[in-house]
Structure 1
Amino acid sequence: MASKSTPPPPGVYVPAVAFMTEDEELDRPSIEAHVLRLAEGGVKGILVQGSNGEAQHLSHDERRNTIRWTRDILDNNGFKDVVVIAGTGAQSTRETIQLCGEAKSAGASYALVLTPSTWPPQMSKANIIRFHQTIADQSPIPTMIYNFPTVTAGIDLDSDTIATLAAHPNIVGIKLSCGNVGKLNRLTSSLSSSEFATFPGKSDVFFQSLMSGGAGVIGALPNIAPRTHVRLLQYFNEGKFDDAVKLQELLGHADWELGRLGSIAGIKAIVARHFGYGAPHVRGPLVPLTLDDVQVTNLSNLNELINIEKTV
């Protein structure tokens, strides 16, 4: 049996948004400015083309470009150790394998693989296992499982299925955007963290997941406040649990406000308004926002989080 691939190191990871121009073209200067701010904020890695990166709305060339731009801006600014994970989700096994190969060639170290969902009745547990194992067999980089029922027609992998997949030598972790801390704890308590990294996909369970053995977080909210998430992780590692809990309370409320605002366009609008780059343009059928939407909406917790982010 092949030796086990190494999982990504623990820490704060960001599924980065892909900034666009008004005519829905990729905005490279804003994408690069965002990656640089995240790296300067202390994140361990950037997830390119997660759901927040509008992966399903991009062509293969656009996917390759955003991965390459991300890797290059990191390398050229002294952040060679910041990990790049590429979302390679597609509806067929063949295209997913192709995307994994293209991700490697563009500079990604890991592939995050979403379970196909066009034909939910055919995605039995056995078929899901077969799909992920086949991808891992042929991917030139280690793969991670992306469990996000909201975007997979309700398909939600259970801990038994994930544990079976974790035995594969080239499957090294999971992003649990289901937010199920019980599932996370079942995985962390039965799988070696040196071989399989279990990340929550939501900031509102960040501290709870750390207490349950999670590897950090891969969540939307660090697009806005990377430094504050890194600070919470530092508090946890230093045993300053009261301080960590206080920050977690704010993250939980801010994450909820961001979801109400409309995650992807909301992230872009907040970043444009408070950090000076980008614009809240998205590709249809997603709905764009305006900077006024951010101003008039009640975002008291997000505003408090932004104030902290600018001072830590």
Structure 2
Amino acid sequence: MASVSNPPPQGIYVPVPTFFAAPSSKDFDVASPPLDLEAQTKHSLFLLNGGIQGLVILGSTGEAIHLTNKERVQLIKSQREELDKAGFKDRPVIAGTATQNIEDTLQQLEESKAAGAEYGMVLAPGYFASAASQQGIIKWFQAVADKSPIPVMIYHFPGVTNGLYIAPSTFETLAQHPNIVGCKLSHGDIPDHTLIASSPKIDPSHFVVFSGLGQNLLPVLTVGGQGAIDGLAGVFPKTVVRLFQLFQDSSAKGTTKKDLDEMRSLQFKICEGEKLVAKWGTVGIKEAVARTWGIGDKDSARLPLAGGFQGGEKEWDSWKEVYAGLKELEESL
């Protein structure tokens, strides 16, 4: 590939959940509840009005593996059009892929581009994780990036790829590809974040490093990371953006003790809220969005995920105090 692709802008992105029709709706089908594009758009605009830099559609939180290719296109196209209509043409849409073979991945990337996505976030192929070599991973991503019509980001999430490990040295190699422009690291290994984000062999103007965990945001920023693709930001966008922006502003002018105290306080509150996301994933995010802001239906999901907390009101009661505090903070920003 002759030209070098540009990465997405640094900042806070949200891996948006995919909203489905509520069980109480007339067109509900337990085998395949239809998309709820009205709730999807309402949530997307809530996020962008809260300062979110862009949306990741059809990542793990978006239940990518539960949608047909036709539904993928419909979802991406609808949100790109709604964002443009609302004046957010400058906010990128990153489309996730979660297939195991290169041809299917390329088909999804081509369809994502046609639907309006600017980037593809490609989940590492983990079916044969125990047998995959670092060289095999390198060649797999290079083959995808060679033919992808949009720039590619590497999605490293050992929790959903059979524990597949991608070494920092592998990222150093892949970061040299002109069409591979960044990564999402959805694990808590700060040393590996550091070895990628601070590597002298990686050009940060071409290859951006985003943490997939908001609870790691402040430490990741200090070692050269450029932001996060974070689940809690799907509920409290201004709060997570505030921490990112405060770090950027204070770094530019000189960090004061007051800045540091506020950043630590924000990170503490984010870590409290992220405990729900870590435990419940997309189910918890939908529950929190519905209960906190009245967007979507907390019971909407596709099998085998059961909609809503299994513990019902009792489970929510255990989070109520933390989320009420975060809502108060969010509304003050």
The two structures share one fold, judged by TM-score above 0.5: yes
2:46 matched to 1:28?
A: no
2:73 matched to 1:73?
A: no
2:275 matched to 1:256?
A: yes
Task: Name the counterpart of 1:275.
Answer: 293
Contact 2:109-2:120 at 8 Å conserved across structures? yes
Contact 1:270-1:294 at 8 Å conserved across structures? no
SS at match of 2:61: helix
Aligned residue pairs, count: 311
TM superposition shift of 1:277: 1.9
Contact 2:198-2:224 at 8 Å conserved across structures? yes
Deviations 1:6-47 (A, max 9, x none): 111100000000111123211110001000100100111100
2:319 matched to 1:298?
A: yes
Structure 2-normalised TM-score? Answer: 0.90
Q: Tell which deviates more after alignment, 164-173 or 17-26.
A: 17-26
Contact 2:11-2:53 at 8 Å conserved across structures? yes
TM superposition shift of 1:219: 1.1
Task: Name the counterpart of 2:222.
Answer: 211
**Runs of at least 4 residues off by over 6 Å:** none
Structure 1-normalised TM-score? Answer: 0.96
Contact 2:93-2:119 at 8 Å conserved across structures? yes
TM superposition shift of 1:299: 4.0
- Aligned CA distance change for structure 1 residues 81 and 154 (closer, same or farther; 3 Å): same
Task: Name the counterpart of 2:125.
Answer: 116
2:231 to 220, 226, 233: 220
Task: Name the counterpart of 1:180.
Answer: 189
Deviations 1:38-71 (A, max 9, x none): 0100111100001000001100011111111111
Contact 2:145-2:179 at 8 Å conserved across structures? yes
Contact 2:130-2:164 at 8 Å conserved across structures? no
2:14 matched to 1:14?
A: yes
Matched residue type, 2:69: H
Question: Could you tell me how far apart the structure 1 residues matched to 2:165 and 2:159 are?
Answer: 9
Contact 1:45-1:82 at 8 Å conserved across structures? yes
Question: Could you tell me how far apart the structure 2 residues matched to 1:89 and 1:166 are?
Answer: 20
Contact 1:156-1:178 at 8 Å conserved across structures? no
Deviations 1:169-213 (A, max 9, x none): 100000000132211221222212101000000010001111111
Task: Name the counterpart of 2:168.
Answer: 159
Task: Name the counterpart of 1:289.
Answer: 308
Question: Could you tell me how far apart the structure 1 residues matched to 2:330 and 2:225 are?
Answer: 23
Task: Name the counterpart of 1:308.
Answer: 329
Matched residue type, 1:77: A
Question: Could you tell me how far apart the structure 2 residues matched to 1:40 and 1:294 are?
Answer: 30
Contact 1:85-1:109 at 8 Å conserved across structures? yes
Question: Could you tell me how far apart the structure 1 residues matched to 2:286 and 2:9 are?
Answer: 27
TM superposition shift of 1:88: 1.7
Deviations 1:205-224 (A, max 9, x none): 00111111111110111110
- Aligned CA distance change for structure 1 residues 305 and 128 (closer, same or farther; 3 Å): same
TM superposition shift of 1:127: 1.3
Matched residue type, 1:282: A
Q: Tell which deviates more after alignment, 175-184 or 99-108.
A: 175-184
Task: Name the counterpart of 1:193.
Answer: 204
Q: Tell which deviates more after alignment, 280-289 or 48-57.
A: 280-289
- Aligned CA distance change for structure 1 residues 293 and 39 (closer, same or farther; 3 Å): farther
1:48 to 57, 64, 80: 57
SS at match of 1:199: strand
Question: Could you tell me how far apart the structure 2 residues matched to 1:204 and 1:173 are?
Answer: 20
- Aligned CA distance change for structure 1 residues 293 and 104 (closer, same or farther; 3 Å): farther
Deviations 1:223-251 (A, max 9, x none): 10111111111211221222111100111
Gaps of 5+ in 2: 251-258
Gaps of 5+ in 1: none
Deviations 1:68-124 (A, max 9, x none): 111111100011111100002211111001001001000000000011122224422
SS at match of 2:121: strand
2:258 matched to 1:247?
A: no
Question: Could you tell me how far apart the structure 1 residues matched to 2:214 and 2:322 are?
Answer: 14
Question: Could you tell me how far apart the structure 1 residues matched to 2:94 and 2:189 are?
Answer: 22
